[in-house]
């Protein structure tokens, strides 16, 4: 349980952090809350040669509302949970326990790219944009292009996520977050997040995201298409939710078989949509 040796720097500015990353070898890693990276290092599943700690870098924390919603990458899960950001806050509030929520960050969670984490699927359904800075300047990456495979993202090794933007904000949509785990502080066996825009009793738009149902977070497109333009009712939701696991290949693990996860996805999808639509 002791990590391999590594070098450590704690730069005071973003430019210095990017410089340190670029000058380190490909194994140099950013350190944010350390609640995914340090356990991997202790298990020797990761052995970075250099850790570049973002803790002293200013300007990476906090929630800004200025026409659009922007959340700094180093904002902790606890702050996100307490900021009244609808679906995003609800999901962040289910992460682990208070200790983890006060150290772990939204940027670290997305960069880690674990499909069992709560925030990646939320980034997908909110159609968030990840803003990064690297030696070649700033990039904006749509969440739909960000998650490539298990623990693999579109991030270059010398790029830092600086903020996450939610272009439409999260207003005007009903939301529901349903997470199934054995103990409250555990990762999701499966989780489903739903957003619904209801006009005159009809689903004007619907978005559904799935956690831990494949090697990346997923959108349940079949459910979304089945509900758009349909009248809002428990029956229409239940019918559409039957398609929640379509096209998924959830990994079996110690907690659940793939079939059980598909069952959970259907049940949680129905519940999340009912909540989002106020049924
Ligand atoms: C006991 C326990 C239970 C947990 N339960 C849950 C849970 O239920 N749900 C859940 O979603 N998560 C859970 N987590 C994970 C937790 O949310 C982590 O905090 C989070 O996944 C990673 O955030 P971090 O800030 O700690 O990142 P770190 O561990 O510091 O970094 C993770 C990865 O992201 C990279 N990185 C960090 N910040 C940036 C950045 N700004 N730009 C680019 N790359 C960056 C790092 O280099 C590293 O590769 C749990 C963790 C623990 C220890």
81-139 confidence digits (pLDDT tens):
999 999 999 999 999 999 999 999 999 999 999 999 999 999 999 999 999 999 999 99
pLDDT of residue 168: 64
Give me ligand 1 centre to Cα 124, in Å: 17
Atom of ligand 1 nearest to the CA of 97: 3
Nearest CA to ligand 1 atom 46: 30
CB 44 within 8 A of CB 4: yes
Tell me the per-residue pLDDT of 128-185, one tens digit each, with 9 for 90 and over: 999 999 999 999 999 999 999 999 999 999 999 999 998 765 678 999 999 999 888 8
Q: Name the average pLDDT for the chain.
A: 95
**Whole-Å CA distances, 180 to 80, 86, 101, 219:** 21, 19, 18, 18
CA of 234 to the centre of ligand 1 (A): 36
Alpha-helical runs (H) found in the chain: 14-23, 37-42, 77-81, 87-92, 98-103, 106-112, 119-125, 143-146, 221-227, 234-241, 258-277
Q: How far apart are the first and last CA of the chain?
A: 49
Instruction: Identify the pLDDT of residue 216.
Output: 97
Cα–ligand 1 centroid distance for 5 (angstroms): 21
Considering the entire predicted model, what is its pTM? 0.96
Separation of alpha carbons 32 and 26, rounded Å = 18
- Region label for 151, one of left (φ > 0), alpha (ψ between -120 and 50) or beta (otherwise): left
- Name the residue of 52, 70, 111, 179 to mutate for ligand 1: max ligand atoms within 8 A of Cβ: 111
Task: Using pLDDT thresholds of 50, 70 and 90, give the confidence band for residue 1.
Answer: confident
Per cent of the chain over pLDDT 90 is 90
DSSP letter assigned to residue 13:
S
């Amino acid at each position: 349980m002791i990590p391999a040796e590594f070098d450590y720097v704690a730069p005071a500015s973003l430019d210095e952090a990017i410089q340190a990353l670029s000058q380190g070898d490909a194994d140099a890693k950013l350190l944010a809350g350390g609640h995914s990276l340090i356990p991997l290092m202790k298990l020797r599943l990761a052995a970075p040669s250099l850790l570049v700690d973002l803790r002293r870098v200013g300007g990476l924390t906090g929630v800004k509302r200025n026409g659009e919603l922007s959340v700094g990458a180093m904002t902790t899960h606890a702050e996100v949970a307490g900021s009244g950001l609808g679906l995003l806050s609800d999901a962040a509030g289910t992460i682990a326990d208070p200790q983890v929520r006060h150290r772990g960050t939204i940027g670290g969670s997305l960069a880690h790219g674990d499909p069992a984490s709560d925030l990646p699927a939320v980034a997908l359904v909110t159609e968030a944009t990840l803003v990064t800075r690297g030696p070649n300047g700033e990039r904006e990456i749509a969440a739909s292009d960000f998650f490539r495979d298990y623990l693999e993202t579109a991030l270059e090794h010398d790029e830092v996520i600086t903020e996450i933007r939610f272009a439409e904000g999260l207003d005007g949509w009903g939301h529901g977050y349903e997470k199934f785990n054995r103990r409250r502080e555990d990762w999701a066996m499966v989780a489903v997040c739903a957003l619904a825009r209801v006009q005159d009793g009809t689903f004007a738009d619907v978005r559904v995201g799935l956690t831990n149902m494949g090697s990346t977070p997923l959108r349940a497109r079949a459910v979304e298409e089945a509900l758009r333009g349909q009248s809002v009712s428990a029956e229409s939701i239940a019918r559409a939710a039957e398609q929640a696991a379509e096209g998924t290949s959830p990994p079996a693990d110690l907690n659940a078989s793939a079939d059980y996860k598909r069952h959970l996805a259907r049940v949680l999808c129905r519940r999340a949509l009912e909540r989002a639509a106020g049924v």
